[in-house]
Amino acid sequence: MRTWLAVLLLCTLCVSLSFNIYLWVSLKQHNDKAYEIEASYEHRLEDNAKHKSGLNVGSKAVPISDPRSSDFRTDFPTDISGANTASNEIKGQGFSSSQLDQDQLSELTALLNNGQYALLATELTKYLKNDPLNESLLLLEAELIELTKPLPTAIVHYYDLAELPLSNKTLTFIDTKIATLYQQAQTQLSQDEQWELVARLNEPLYQRIPDAKHYTLNLAEAYAYQQKLTLMEDVLAALPLNDRDANIIRNKAYEIRDIANADTTPNNSELTPTGAEDARYQTRVDLERIGDQYRLEAKALNQKATMILDTGASTTAISSRLFARLGRMRNLTFIGNFNIRTASGTIEAPLVQIPRFYFAGYEFNDVSAIVLPENALPDSDGLLGMNVLGQFDFAIMPQSSELILTERHE
């Protein structure tokens, strides 16, 4: 009996031991397989991390340089029209770029040069959706905005671009572009005493870059000449109270106010210059009266133009027809688009610079002119404004239909 019990106990122990060995082997195989899966997953994660931090070259990952570092370069040429042919790779963000085919870029540039702005805007939106940091596309889009939107909007857009992780070369190009566009417009408008447009140019830039002193001073000066003294003081409040440049503008503004309050001279156009001495500097211009308008002959470059005499217009304007005859941008300098007040309301129109303008036997250089749509000037080639007339003392003689110009003594 005891023998049988011993045999039974031994068999039970053998079976239990075999079962335990089986369980241990099965568990080990399961763990090994799980480890292989985990190792494979970790290996893929490591590969993805390498891909995000660099471009795969052979079996090594080469890190992408910081786009703002001096080691990061993207050379791109620009053509004479300013249309950019920048690098076709997206830089920064740690992602490899998709290539923009050179033929595609040439086609987009051709749309810009041919004035197909709406189609170009659609195509750029499509391409930039896939390549949001492609420098070629971004600069092409900026030039499109420059040609189709108000100049202050275009300059602010360039400032926005400068905050993107772009190459040093592109950032330098953008800085130069901002300076060129702004200075060209500021100089031309100030020279023509277009203070309302000077204010419109500087207002968005002052808000965008409030610490830029030149925007502050130029905006305050524009308000000063318009006698918007409260706005002028609000702007100058950003500068120290004893700032020399700010005080020069203040003094000028209040001097203008005092002179205006003391001046009892009749309106300029109502004056009739007299005296032998004045006659030496007088020029008489024949006027054609049509309704309540006076018209006269002038010449822009080599194109004769019939202009409406408009003493209420701060700047000269030309029709889109005359603009086309003058060769558009081939012969004129494009300053930028501005919102312009007209008799029928505010419109957006380009401001251009005419290299040579002839009127009453005088030659004027670099005359700014607004290009108005055809329906705004249906029966004439433009308006002769105060940026030309204001260089003379003048009088309109209704009885003889003459304009008398008197040269101002230096």
Confidence of residue 281 (pLDDT cuts 50, 70, 90): confident
* pLDDT single digits (tens) 222-280: 999 999 999 999 999 999 999 999 999 999 999 999 998 886 554 555 444 455 555 55
* Fold agreement (149-264, 276-407): no
Please count the other Cβ atoms lying within 10 Å of the Cβ belonging to residue 305: 23
pLDDT number for residue 218: 97
Whether residue 108 has pLDDT greater than 60: yes
Distance (Å, rounded) from C-alpha 337 to C-alpha 387?
18
Distance (Å, rounded) from C-alpha 16 to C-alpha 10?
10
Q: Which residues, 6+ apart, have CB-to-CB distance to 132 below 8 Å?
A: 90
* pLDDT single digits (tens) 359-404: 999 999 999 999 998 888 888 999 999 999 988 999 999 888 999 9
Q: Provide the mean pLDDT of the chain.
A: 78
Whether residue 26 has pLDDT greater than 70: no
CATH class of the 276-407 domain in this structure: mainly beta
Percent above pLDDT 90 for the chain:
55
Distance (Å, rounded) from C-alpha 225 to C-alpha 95?
52
pLDDT number for residue 347: 85
* Domain boundary assignment for the chain: 149-264, 276-407
Residue of 340, 391, 336, 329 whose CA lies nearest to 362: 391
Question: 149-264, what's its fold?
Answer: 1.25.40
pLDDT number for residue 330: 82
Bigger pLDDT: 197 vs 272: 197
**Spatial contact of 286 and 296, defined as CB atoms under 8 Å apart:** yes
Please count the other Cβ atoms lying within 10 Å of the Cβ belonging to residue 91: 22
* pLDDT single digits (tens) 328-371: 878 899 999 998 877 677 889 999 999 999 999 999 999 999 99
Residue 398: phi and psi, rounded to 5, are: -60, -35
* pLDDT single digits (tens) 132-189: 999 999 999 999 999 999 999 999 999 999 999 999 999 999 999 999 999 999 999 9
Task: Return the sign of the alpha-carbon dihedral for residues 189, 190, 191, 193.
Answer: positive
Whether residue 36 has pLDDT greater than 60: no
Residue of 399, 408, 395 whose CA lies nearest to 309: 395
**Spatial contact of 181 and 332, defined as CB atoms under 8 Å apart:** no
What tokens does 208 get? Answer: 């965008």
Percent above pLDDT 70 for the chain:
70
